[in-house]
Structure 1
Amino acid sequence: MLGNLNGWHLLILLAVILLLFGAAKLPALAKSVGQSARVFRGEMKAMKEDDEKPADGTASSTAADTTSTAATPPKPADSAEPKP
């Protein structure tokens, strides 16, 4: 899509952006875009870490749950009624 843009197209695009937003607002616009990109990258990294953790932890916790359940007797369930 953007492969057909050459130097002149980018120069015209920058001029239009300058006219629309004004020179005074461009630094604030660039700062907000940078902050948004940083937050987006951080969220993507967190999502990748979350995806990797259950795959590693599921197999070991399942095996641990099976052995721990068989080794220890179940605890009596607390009643839902509040005690006086």
Structure 2
Amino acid sequence: MELFIMLGIPGIWQIGIIAVIILLLFGGKKVPELMKGLGSGIKEFKKGISEDDKEDSKESSKESSKEDKK
């Protein structure tokens, strides 16, 4: 238990309090919309990261093939 406090990781009670505050601020109908937006944002971020990695690997393979031809 003390390890979680030292690392700054929220416990069950802290997560519950945050959830209640979010419900009070946004209401029960708005929370699912917010979570949907958050999920789609994370999905787009991961998609962008993977596309960037693919472009980097294509560029590096083109550069290595050019070096092999020399």
TM-score of the aligned structures, taking structure 1 as reference length: 0.66
CA drift at 1:12 = 0.4
Identify which of 18, 27, 45 aligns with 1:22.
27
Counterparts of 1:61 and 1:45 in 2: how far apart (Å)?
25
Correspondence 1:43-82 to 2 at 5 A: 43-61=48-66, 63=69
Indicate the residue corresponding to 1:72 in structure 2.
Answer: none
Determine which structure has the larger helix proportion and give its number.
2
**Would you say how many aligned residue pairs link Structure 1 and Structure 2?**
63
Counterparts of 1:60 and 1:51 in 2: how far apart (Å)?
14
Percent identity between the two aligned chains: 27
Q: Which runs of 4+ in 1 moved over 4 A?
A: none
Correspondence 1:5-44 to 2 at 5 A: 5-44=10-49
Unaligned runs of 5+ in 2: 1-6
TM-score of the aligned structures, taking structure 2 as reference length: 0.78
Indicate the residue corresponding to 1:74 in structure 2.
Answer: none
Deviations 1:5-59 (A, max 9, x none): 2111111010011111111101111111111111101000001111111111112
Unaligned runs of 5+ in 1: 67-84
Q: Which structure would you say has the larger RCO, counting Cα contacts within 8 Å and 6 or more residues apart?
A: 2
